[in-house]
């Protein structure tokens, strides 16, 4: 009965209610998209493993480390597995076709990343092929690659045309796994470097380190860096999450602006709904006065007004959430190459619902106060 009454009250002025719902829908859609962009920015951080460390040169990531550090790191307590790697920095055909590509010690690197799911036969072929490479499913789809294709990358850090043969395509074990990476054998890179740039040979950009437990991360990182103190290439070791956060922090200003815009969107929704509820209550003040004369208390009036406000925001929120999914797909089609992971998270949906609930409650506070405190005589005086 009460629900039927709420629907009738909400749609007594259909055009105004429909426009309000549409406004809420657009705001929730914008809020959801902005939150998804923020989530995409933090995707690498969220996908990080607590049992992986990254060791790099203490000055900057662009300065190399000698490959001889690998065995020394392996012998430190708490270290289970070590894989050397380097950022390659190549692009496909032209500079617009840029993506993450690495030269890695393949066997140990793949062991460190069980979230990269590769068919066993493809993995075997890759490990045997000197020029073999592994590409993510999203990257392969982007360029129409398949196993057996030959791909030529143009090097920037290592100039020239580098030929690779796709031997494996990996899929993410989870939704937050980046499927747009490209990696190949570090040994292939090092052999070529020895022929062309001898001084750059036997050097790596970073070490990925698997540790025995997350609790050992801090101690293990300190021990690694302590070992190479006062050497010609001192190290900085941090958790994979902290390493990824270092890249995110470079865009902190942009993220702060996006976060601010999401708050502004919520305020806009609140103003729209509050205006609608204020108009509705003002028009029905005589009805509320009649309710009071019949013995209905302030609690009943508060339920009517709050219920109507929550109903309108809930309908707008539902429409906004439903439209967010096709909007995200369209967004991915337009700029998906810049966001390796762009999924609507469960947290975003929950934030949409919580935001709409808060808006519905706050927008009803003043109208409720107005309806409860108005004298019966004043309310009845509005009749006619």
Whether 255 and 353 map to the same domain: the answer is yes
Q: How far apart are CA 270 and CA 360, in angstroms?
A: 7
Altogether, the residues listed in the chain come to a count of 384
Whether 32 and 105 map to the same domain: the answer is no
Whether 371 and 308 map to the same domain: the answer is yes
Whether 218 and 261 map to the same domain: the answer is no
Whether 172 and 269 map to the same domain: the answer is no
Tally of structural domains, the chain:
2
Q: How confident is the model at residue 250 (pLDDT cuts 50, 70, 90)?
A: low
Whether 203 and 134 map to the same domain: the answer is yes
Whether 126 and 190 map to the same domain: the answer is yes
Domain boundaries, position 304:
2-43+251-380
- Which pLDDT belongs to residue 206? 95
For the chain, where are the E strands, in sequence order? Answer: 52-57, 65-66, 79-87, 91-92, 101-104, 116-117, 132-136, 150-155, 160-172, 182-185, 203-204, 206-211, 235-239
- The string of pLDDT tens digits covering residues 21-43 is 888 898 888 888 888 887 777 77
The secondary element (H helix, E strand) that includes residue 346 is: helix 346-373
Residues facing 150 on adjacent strands:
165
Q: How confident is the model at residue 355 (pLDDT cuts 50, 70, 90)?
A: confident
- The string of pLDDT tens digits covering residues 231-246 is 889 999 999 988 888 7
Neighbours of 119 (CB within 10 A): 13
Whether 276 and 373 map to the same domain: the answer is yes
Whether 138 and 228 map to the same domain: the answer is yes
Q: How far apart are CA 79 and CA 360, in angstroms?
A: 53
- Domain end, chosen from 233, 267, 298, is at 233
Lowest mean pLDDT of 166-170, 174-178, 368-372, name the range: 368-372
Whether 289 and 323 map to the same domain: the answer is yes
- Residue 52 covered by a domain: no
- Residue 319 covered by a domain: yes
Lowest mean pLDDT of 91-105, 169-183, 330-344, name the range: 330-344
- Residue 197 covered by a domain: yes
- Residue 337 covered by a domain: yes
- Residue 228 covered by a domain: yes
Q: How confident is the model at residue 75 (pLDDT cuts 50, 70, 90)?
A: very high
End-to-end CA distance of the chain: 28
Say what the pTM is: 0.75
């Amino acid at each position: 009965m009460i629900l039927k009454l709420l629907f009738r009250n909400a749609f007594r002025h259909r055009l105004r209610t429909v426009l309000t719902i549409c406004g809420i829908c657009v705001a929730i859609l914008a809020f959801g998209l902005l939150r998804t962009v923020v989530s995409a920015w933090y995707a690498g951080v969220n996908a990080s493993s607590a049992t992986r460390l990254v060791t790099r040169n203490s000055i900057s990531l662009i300065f190399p480390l000698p490959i001889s550090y690998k065995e020394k790191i392996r012998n430190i307590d708490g270290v289970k597995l070590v894989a050397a790697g380097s950022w390659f920095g190549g692009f496909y055909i032209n500079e617009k076709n840029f993506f993450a590509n690495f030269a890695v010690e393949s066997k140990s690197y793949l062991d460190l990343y069980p979230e990269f799911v590769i068919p066993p036969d493809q993995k075997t072929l890759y490990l045997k092929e000197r020029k073999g490479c592994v590409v993510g499913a999203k990257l392969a789809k982007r360029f129409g690659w398949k196993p057996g294709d030959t791909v030529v990358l143009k090097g920037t850090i290592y100039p020239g045309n580098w030929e690779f043969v796709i031997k494996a395509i990996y899929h993410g074990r989870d939704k937050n796994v980046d499927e747009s990476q490209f990696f190949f054998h570090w040994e292939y890179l090092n052999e070529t470097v020895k022929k062309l740039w001898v001084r750059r040979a036997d050097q790596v950009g970073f070490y990925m380190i698997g540790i025995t437990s997350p609790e050992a991360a801090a101690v293990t990182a300190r021990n690694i860096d302590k070992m190479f103190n006062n050497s010609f290439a001192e190290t900085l070791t941090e958790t994979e999450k902290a390493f990824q956060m270092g890249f995110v922090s470079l865009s902190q200003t942009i993220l702060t602006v996006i976060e601010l815009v999401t708050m502004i969107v919520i305020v806009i929704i609140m103003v729209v709904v509050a205006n609608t509820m204020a108009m509705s209550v003002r028009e029905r003040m005589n009805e509320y006065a009649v309710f009071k004369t019949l013995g209905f208390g302030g609690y009943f009036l508060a339920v009517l007004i709050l219920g109507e406000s929550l109903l309108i925001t809930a309908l707008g929120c539902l429409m906004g959430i439903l439209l967010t999914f096709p909007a995200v797909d369209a967004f991915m089609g337009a700029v998906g190459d810049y966001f390796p992971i762009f999924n609507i998270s469960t947290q975003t949906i929950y934030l949409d619902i919580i935001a709409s609930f808060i808006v519905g409650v706050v927008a009803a506070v003043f109208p409720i106060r107005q309806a409860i405190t108005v004298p019966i005589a004043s309310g009845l005086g509005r009749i006619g």
